Amino acid sequence: MTVPPGGPGGLPALRVGQGVDVHPLVDGRPLVLGGVAVPFERGLAGHSDADVVAHAVCDAVLSAASLGDLGQHFPAGDPRWAGADSLGFCRHVAGLAGEAGWTIVNVAATVLCDQPRLGPHVPAMTAALAGALGIQPGQVQVSPKATEGLGVPGRGDGIAAIAVCLLAAVPV
């Protein structure tokens, strides 16, 4: 394990990463967001389960740790990932960050979605993401935001997610 260098004045090294994902809504697929099956008449198109929340979180962790992006680790054309549970991606990415000498301090994800209403599902999403990342639910924030009819989410064409992650160097 390579431990990242410390920050100035003996402070721990900190890194921030950002991730973004968007997938179109289609008929005939389940809707999975933040690792939770959300009842809705359509789901997200994609090679895996197309969980935009988990994908954005993974990209935020990878970005903060300078470990590439989700597509490098789980290529969409690879048959191994067809229909894959994106929480498995989260577990793998958290492990990679740990091997690189980082620990996840917190993750915040914003989900852009007018329909379905996601508020009732936030506690389950928070718990699922925290479990997959190996952190406490209090270190995860999921915030659903309506776009008031604007853009891809507002028209009901898809769902987008934006996530940020704060990493700290693991003390030696």
Residue 35 tokens read as: 């690792």
Q: 172 pLDDT band (50/70/90 cuts)?
A: low
Q: What is the pLDDT of residues 11-70, one digit of tens each?
A: 669 999 999 999 999 999 999 999 999 999 999 999 999 999 999 999 999 999 999 999
Domains, the chain, ranges and CATH?
Answer: 12-169 (3.30.1330.50)
- Cβ–Cβ under 8 Å, residues 168 and 3: no
Runs of H (alpha helix) within the chain: 52-64, 70-73, 86-99, 122-133, 151-155
CA angle 47, 53, 59 (to 5 degrees): 80
Tell me the pLDDT tens digit for each residue of 77-131. Answer: 888 888 899 999 999 999 999 999 999 999 999 999 999 999 999 999 999 999 9
Count the neighbouring beta carbons within 10 Å of the beta carbon of residue 10.
Answer: 6
Say whether pLDDT at 7 is over 80: no
pTM of the model: 0.93
Instruction: Tell me the angle at which helices 52-64 and 86-99 cross, rounded to the nearest 10 degrees.
Output: 10
Cα–chain-centroid distance for residue 38?
16
